């Protein structure tokens, strides 16, 4: 039998690329969704699994795409729940050996846009505890009652207020924004997207099965050392994602750490970035994602204004950004590259711009200072089990 020689991060990277082609949102959200999809097939090996909640205060923000369409396309044993679903109908989904994961579209239609109907909804009690492996409920069957598992991951979308607070705390929260008109995305309903998803979904299941032992060992032996704030419910939500990221390797451990800090921690618990810092990180991320090695000043302005969390770049004028470029990256130099935006898009020429390597190096040094590496927190158990050989 020929051994699989694919790099451990190959399938996760392919999944991330698929999501990137269909969804406009912060890269942290795409990376979390990728790891979440990769642990769904092995949820029974975990003690808990996260819920994903995508919200926005405006329509057409992509919340249904990332927290309904993508899970339905790529999620293992995924079933859809919406306002037309009845309690008996949902109960029937769990009267099987392998309980499903669920995607809840427009949660406000179920719990009310203010979330006030949460505690009175027939779905609420079941959903609020089903992120734990030991979650069960009594269901009528064959003239009697049977206790069945309701454990599974859930993806929800709607208004932020539509989810009651205790359910909200069980979710990893994505704050979605509308994509600019110039951003072109694939449609999740296109035949080509569905065909690609069918093959990718099978690959995700295979990856999860091949990595489940590593994921379990990481949670058992190393999850305590990931981050000092990764405790309690935060650990329940994020532990499988960190474990899958560690198993994937490559950029994934760093990406998951940055996502945890950006999404989960409060303002007083994480570093507050200044304009020059997020300029360095955003520019380096773009170089890494695009594969470009050079960029004109005029194109870099457009690149940054298309970043989902780039409101700062959209608020300031060109002159201010150019001045910031010079302060952070130094004076631009004359470079030869392909124009990415504007009248001469696609044409090669010369203009003032920047190379990727100095910016990538600066971003790496900045990240080392901002974010602790995985396994950077020592605990008492590690001290108790440590051994130092005697000097001969």
The tens digit of pLDDT for each residue in 188-207 reads: 999 999 999 999 999 999 99
Q: What does the alpha-carbon distance between residue 381 and residue 385 come to, in Å, rounded to a whole number?
A: 6
Cβ contact 382:225 at 8 Å: yes
Residue 308 lies in a domain: yes
- Decide if 170 is inside a domain: yes
- Expressed as residue numbers, the domain containing 107 is 10-194
pTM passes above 0.85? yes
User: Is residue 256 in some structural domain?
Assistant: no
Alpha helices in the chain (DSSP H): 10-22, 27-39, 63-64, 70-74, 87-93, 108-111, 124-129, 165-168, 191-221, 232-248, 252-264, 275-290, 297-305, 311-315, 318-329, 356-370, 380-385
- Give yes or no for a contact between 20 and 30, defined as CB atoms under 8 angstroms apart: yes
The owner of tokens 């020689």 is 5
Do 299 and 188 share a structural domain?
A: no
CATH of the domain at 169: 3.40.50.300
Query: What's the full length of the chain, in residues?
Result: 392
Q: What is the pLDDT of residue 312?
A: 95
- To 10 degrees, the CA torsion angle through 56, 59, 60, 64? 60
Residue 293 is predicted with a pLDDT of: 97
Q: Are 188 and 18 in contact (CB under 8 A)?
A: no
Contact 352, 334 (CB under 8 A): yes
Q: How many domains does the chain have?
A: 2
- pLDDT reported for residue 350: 97
Do 311 and 174 reside in the same domain of the chain? Answer: no
Q: Does 115 reside within a domain? A: yes
Residue 86 pLDDT = 72
338's tokens: 């392909």
Round to whole Å and give the CA distance between 173 and 157. Answer: 10
User: Is residue 249 domain-resident?
Assistant: no
Instruction: Report yes or no on 208 lying in a domain.
Output: no
Q: Which residues of the chain have pLDDT under 50?
A: 1-2, 375-378
Report the distance separating Cα 214 and Cα 220, nearest Å. 10
On whether the CB atoms of residues 94 and 100 are closer than 8 A, the answer is yes
Distances (CA, A) of 116 to 120, 158, 164: 8, 14, 7
pLDDT at residue 377, rounded to an integer: 45
How many angstroms separate the Cα of 316 from the Cα of each of 40, 279, 319, 320, 329? 42, 13, 8, 6, 18
Give the model's pLDDT for residue 122: 66
Q: Which of 145, 170, 194 is the last residue of a domain?
A: 194
């Amino acid at each position: 039998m020929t051994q699989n020689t694919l790099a451990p991060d190959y399938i996760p990277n392919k999944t991330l690329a698929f999501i990137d082609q269909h969804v406009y949102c912060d890269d942290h959200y795409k990376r979390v969704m990728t790891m979440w999809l990769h642990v769904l097939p092995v949820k029974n090996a975990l003690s808990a699994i996260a819920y994903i909640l995508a919200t926005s205060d405006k329509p057409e923000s992509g919340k249904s795409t990332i927290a309904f369409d993508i899970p339905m396309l790529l999620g293992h044993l995924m079933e859809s729940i919406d306002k037309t679903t009845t309690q008996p109908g949902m109960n029937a989904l769990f009267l099987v050996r392998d309980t499903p994961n669920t995607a809840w579209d427009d949660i406000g239609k179920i719990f009310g846009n203010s979330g006030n109907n949460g505690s009175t909804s027939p779905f609420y009690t079941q959903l609020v505890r089903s992120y734990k492996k030991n979650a069960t409920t009594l269901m009528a069957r064959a003239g009697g009652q049977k206790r069945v598992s309701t454990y599974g991951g859930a993806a929800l979308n709607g208004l932020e207020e539509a989810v009651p607070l205790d359910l909200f705390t069980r979710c990893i929260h994505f704050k979605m924004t509308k994509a600019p008109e110039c951003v072109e995305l694939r449609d999740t309903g296109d035949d080509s997207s569905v065909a690609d998803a069918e093959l990718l979904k099978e690959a995700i299941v295979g990856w999860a099965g091949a990595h489940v032992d590593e994921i379990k060992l990481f949670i058992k032996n190393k999850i305590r050392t990931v981050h000092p704030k990764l405790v309690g419910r935060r650990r329940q939500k994020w532990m499988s994602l960190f474990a899958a990221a560690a198993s994937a390797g490559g950029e994934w451990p760093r990406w998951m750490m940055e996502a945890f800090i950006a999404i989960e921690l409060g303002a007083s618990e994480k570093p507050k970035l200044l304009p020059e810092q997020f300029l360095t990180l955003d520019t380096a991320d773009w170089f890494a994602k695009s594969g470009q090695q050079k960029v004109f000043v005029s194109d870099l302005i457009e690149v940054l204004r298309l970043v989902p969390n780039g409101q700062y770049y959209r608020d300031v004028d060109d002159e201010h950004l150019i001045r910031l470029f010079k302060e952070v990256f130094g004076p631009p130099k004359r470079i030869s590259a392909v124009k990415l935006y504007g009248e001469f898009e696609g044409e090669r020429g010369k203009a003032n711009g920047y190379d990727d390597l100095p910016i990538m190096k600066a971003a790496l040094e900045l990240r080392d200072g901002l974010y602790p590496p995985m396994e950077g927190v020592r605990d008492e158990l590690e001290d108790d089990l440590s051994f130092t050989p005697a000097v001969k």
